Amino acid sequence: MKIGKLQQVALRDVWPKEEDDFSAWLSENLESLSDAIGINLSIIQTEKKVNNSSYEMDILCEDDNGHTIVIENQLEKTDHKHLGQALTYLINMEAQTMVWIAKDVKQEHINVINWLNETTDKQFYLVIVEAYKIDDSKPAPFFSVICKPSEEIKILGKEKKEIQLNWTAIKQRRELADTIIVPARKEGFERVFLGDNCWWSIRINKEQLSKLKYIAGYQVAPISAITHVAKIKRIVDSEKEPGKYKVIFEGPAQEIKQIPLGVKSKIQGPAYCEFSKIKDASTLDDLLNNSDYTEDDNAA
C-alpha cells in the first residue's frame, strides 16, 4: 500500500489576499469552520459595513438560534489591530459570538481571549487556519481552535472575580480601620492587657500604624470572644522582638459585651476593624465582614 506524504502549504499560495480570496472562499465553505468550533454557521453577509461606518467586517453569520456571529480573518500572526477591529464589530453589531481566525497566535492575544471568555457573557473563539495537501492533491484547510468558551472557564472567571473583589474589600476595610484586634491567652491577657495596660510583640502593617486609635482584646478558647477594648496612647517598637510593636494604652481596658467568634472568622493573629462597628457587632463576622466594603453581591 502506498502512503501519501502530508505537506503543509503556505496560506498565501492558496489565498493570496485575505478579503478577495480567503474571506470569499470561507463564506462559501463554512462547514469546516462550523465543525471546528461546534457551531452551525449560516452566512448573512460578507464585507458587512458596521452601522454605516467606514469599517467592514469580513463575514457576518448566525447560528441555529439566530444569534449573530462576527468572523475576523487574518492570514498572518494575530495583532492588536485585528483584535480591536473584531471587538468593534462584535459590540456595534450587538453580536453574541466572535471568531478570530489567524495564521498564528501570540500569547498575549490568547490571554485576552481567555479573559474575555472568563469575564463576559459573550463567546470568543481564537482559531488557527492552516492548509495541507497529500502529494499533488489540492490543498485543504485545517482549523485548530486555540481558545473557546466553556462552562469551566466561566466558573473560573467568576472565582477570580470573587477573589479580586474580596481582596479589594480587605484593603478597603484596612484603609478605614482604626482598631486592631489581638488574640490573647488567659494568663497573658490578665497579666499584661489588663494588668500592665499594654500589649506587646505585635506584628502590625506599617501603613496601619498611624491609623490605629483603639485595641480590642480577643480571648482565645474557651472564651473565644472580644471582651475588652482600650484607647491607644502610643505605639512603639518592641524591645523584645525586632520588627514587632508594643501598644501602650491611655488607661485601663474597658470591659464590653462579649463579641464571640462567628462562623466564618478566624483570629490567628492581629486583625483590623472600625471601632464604630464594635458597639453593634453580634459576632466577629460582623467586624470582619468584607461584603460591607464592596457593592458586589458576589463578594465573600
- Digit-coded pLDDT (tens) for 7-38: 999 999 999 998 889 999 999 999 999 999 99
* pLDDT value at 273 more than 50: yes
Considering the domain architecture, whether residues 249 and 134 belong to the same structural domain is answered as no
Considering the domain architecture, whether residues 52 and 139 belong to the same structural domain is answered as yes
pLDDT (0 to 100) of residue 144: 96
1 located within any domain:
no
202 located within any domain:
yes
Considering the domain architecture, whether residues 10 and 140 belong to the same structural domain is answered as yes
pLDDT (0 to 100) of residue 248: 97
Cell readout for 160 is: 477570580
pLDDT (0 to 100) of residue 48: 67
At 54, the pLDDT band (50, 70, 90 cuts) reads low
Rg of the chain, C-alpha, whole Å: 31
CATH code, domain carrying 193 = 2.30.130
213 located within any domain:
yes
pLDDT (0 to 100) of residue 183: 95
Q: Which of 20, 7, 9 is nearest to 129 (CA)?
A: 9
Q: What's the mean pLDDT in 249-276?
A: 92
Considering the domain architecture, whether residues 13 and 44 belong to the same structural domain is answered as yes
Considering the domain architecture, whether residues 105 and 207 belong to the same structural domain is answered as no
At which of 149, 178, 212 does a domain end? Answer: 149
At 300, the pLDDT band (50, 70, 90 cuts) reads very low
Q: For residue 20, what are the domain limits?
A: 6-149
Number of domains in the chain: 2
* Nearest-angstrom CA–CA distance, 201 and 182: 11
Considering the domain architecture, whether residues 250 and 278 belong to the same structural domain is answered as yes
55 located within any domain:
yes
Lowest mean pLDDT among 110-114, 174-178, 242-246, 264-268: 264-268
Considering the domain architecture, whether residues 191 and 270 belong to the same structural domain is answered as yes
Q: Which of 186, 205, 207 is nearest to 245 (CA)?
A: 205
Cell readout for 176 is: 478605614
Q: What's the mean pLDDT in 192-218?
A: 93
299 located within any domain:
no
Considering the domain architecture, whether residues 70 and 143 belong to the same structural domain is answered as yes
pLDDT (0 to 100) of residue 298: 43
81 located within any domain:
yes
| Backbone dihedral angles phi then psi of residue 63, each to the nearest 5 degrees | -95, -175
Please report, rounded to a whole number, the percentage of residues in the chain having pLDDT higher than 70: 95
CB atoms within 10 A of CB 146: 17
Q: Which residue has the higher pLDDT, 52 or 207?
A: 207
Considering the domain architecture, whether residues 27 and 49 belong to the same structural domain is answered as yes
pTM: 0.61
pLDDT, one tens digit per residue, over 135-180 is 889 999 999 999 999 888 778 777 777 777 778 887 888 889 999 9
CATH code, domain carrying 123 = 3.40.1350.10
